[in-house]
């Protein structure tokens, strides 16, 4: 491992100034992600600034929103009684993430900023456009079972790893940041980039910009939400596919609906087309099937992940049946 400087600060503004002033600077929260990447030789920051003890661990609920501080632990948010009752998709996504030991340590901000589990990215001996721009993407014609069927490019088909980000996308959450130019509020749909020709640019955050919290609208949609994660084993595994769904019912039909998906794209994948196939219609097997077809329209599966096209449609049907029953 390359030698690096380490410092801890009690003020978010100081942490931002430190990282912004060092091109090789990086934030560390719970330490469950960055340390592994450093040990594996994937990342090699010159300066590591510990933000895990910043006073940003609040979980606050008002009449119109839920606010989660960036240093709140995943466990504490998942177990919070209001989150479990009024924002179940968030609690379920967190409880489906990692292991209890990791959830006890990992932070909300760190979870949103974790890097892809693509094995080519995580192996410094392999080419990877995300890690070394211009070196190539072996996943295109290699082992691509876990990779994207939507949103990829000829430069990268890695998928986004965060369950939490998928659930927050379904609830139209806003990410609050502090950077060298001050504070920003970023709709979560604008936080993550598609790879295009620059897969190394994963988010719209500037260097030195720190996530300080997340705001989630409080609504009937949030209260009527669920998360389903399909994975290869029951614990400490990333999604093969996942579904976050939130809906309301009006006189026997779907009133409003939000759908977001994990394991199928380089960022949490929102499907307005699938939502439109459900909105204003009765929740029947026929309408759910139409939503599933709309979801996978335009998908570009590879040799080893074509099964995701059917699997994500089945996962969507299971979540919607749990939410409202199918006729």
- Strand 5-8 relative to strand 65-69: parallel, antiparallel, unpaired? unpaired
Mean pLDDT over the full length of the chain:
96
Mind listing the pLDDT tens digit for each residue in 19-47?
A: 999 999 999 999 889 999 999 999 999 99
pLDDT at 326 (0 to 100): 63
Q: Which two tokens stand for residue 219?
A: 């609504």
Does residue 254 surpass a pLDDT of 90? Answer: yes
pLDDT at 83 (0 to 100): 97
Mind listing the pLDDT tens digit for each residue in 108-128?
A: 999 999 999 999 999 999 999
Residue with tokens 């077809």: 293
What is the distance between the alpha carbons of residues 255 and 251, in angstroms, rounded to a whole number?
9
Nearest CA among 93, 68, 71 for reference residue 82: 68
- The radius of gyration of the chain from alpha carbons, rounded to an integer in Å, stands at 19
pLDDT at 2 (0 to 100): 84
Q: How confident is the model at residue 327 (pLDDT cuts 50, 70, 90)?
A: low
Nearest CA among 187, 210, 205 for reference residue 54: 210
Q: Would the CA dihedral through 23, 27, 32, 35 be positive or negative? A: positive
∠ CA 205-96-34 to the nearest 5 degrees? 40
What is the distance between the alpha carbons of residues 230 and 232, in angstroms, rounded to a whole number?
7
Nearest CA among 269, 280, 128, 116 for reference residue 188: 269
CA distances from residue 229 to 31, 226, 289, 319 in whole angstroms, order as listed: 24, 10, 19, 10
Mind listing the pLDDT tens digit for each residue in 170-209?
A: 999 999 999 999 999 999 999 999 999 999 999 999 999 9
Mind listing the pLDDT tens digit for each residue in 156-166?
A: 999 999 999 99
Question: What is the layout of strands, in order, in the sheet containing 25-28?
Answer: 5-8, 47-50, 25-28
């Amino acid at each position: 491992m390359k030698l690096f400087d380490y410092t801890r600060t009690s003020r978010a503004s100081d942490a931002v100034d430190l990282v912004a002033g060092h091109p090789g600077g990086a934030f560390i929260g719970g330490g469950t992600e960055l340390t592994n990447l450093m040990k594996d030789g994937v990342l090699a920051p010159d300066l590591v600034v510990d933000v895990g003890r910043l006073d940003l661990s609040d979980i606050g609920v008002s009449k119109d929103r839920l606010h989660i501080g960036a240093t709140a632990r995943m466990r504490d948010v998942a177990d919070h009684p209001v989150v479990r009752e009024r924002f179940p998709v968030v609690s379920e996504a967190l409880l489906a993430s990692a292991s209890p030991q990791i959830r006890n340590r990992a932070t909300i901000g760190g979870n949103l900023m974790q890097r892809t589990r693509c094995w080519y990215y995580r192996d410094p001996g392999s080419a990877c456009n995300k890690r070394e721009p211009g070196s190539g993407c072996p996943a295109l014609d290699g082992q691509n079972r876990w990779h994207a069927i939507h949103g990829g490019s000829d430069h990268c088909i890695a998928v986004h790893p965060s369950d939490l980000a998928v659930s927050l996308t379904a609830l139209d959450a806003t990410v609050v940041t502090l950077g060298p130019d001050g504070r920003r509020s970023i709709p979560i749909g604008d936080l993550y980039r598609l790879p295009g020709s620059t897969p190394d640019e994963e988010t719209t955050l500037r260097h030195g910009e720190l996530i300080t919290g997340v705001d989630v609208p409080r609504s009937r949609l949030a209260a009527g939400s669920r998360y389903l994660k399909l994975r290869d084993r029951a614990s400490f595994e990333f999604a093969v596919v996942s579904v976050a769904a939130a809906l309301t019912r009006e006189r026997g039909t779907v009133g409003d609906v939000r759908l977001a998906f994990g394991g199928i794209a380089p960022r949490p994948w929102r499907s307005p087309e699938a939502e439109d196939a459900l909105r204003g219609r009765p929740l029947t097997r026929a309408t759910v099937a139409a939503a599933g077809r709309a979801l996978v329209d335009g998908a570009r599966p590879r040799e080893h992940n074509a099964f995701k096209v059917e699997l994500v449609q089945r996962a969507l049907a299971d979540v919607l049946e749990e939410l409202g029953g199918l006729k």
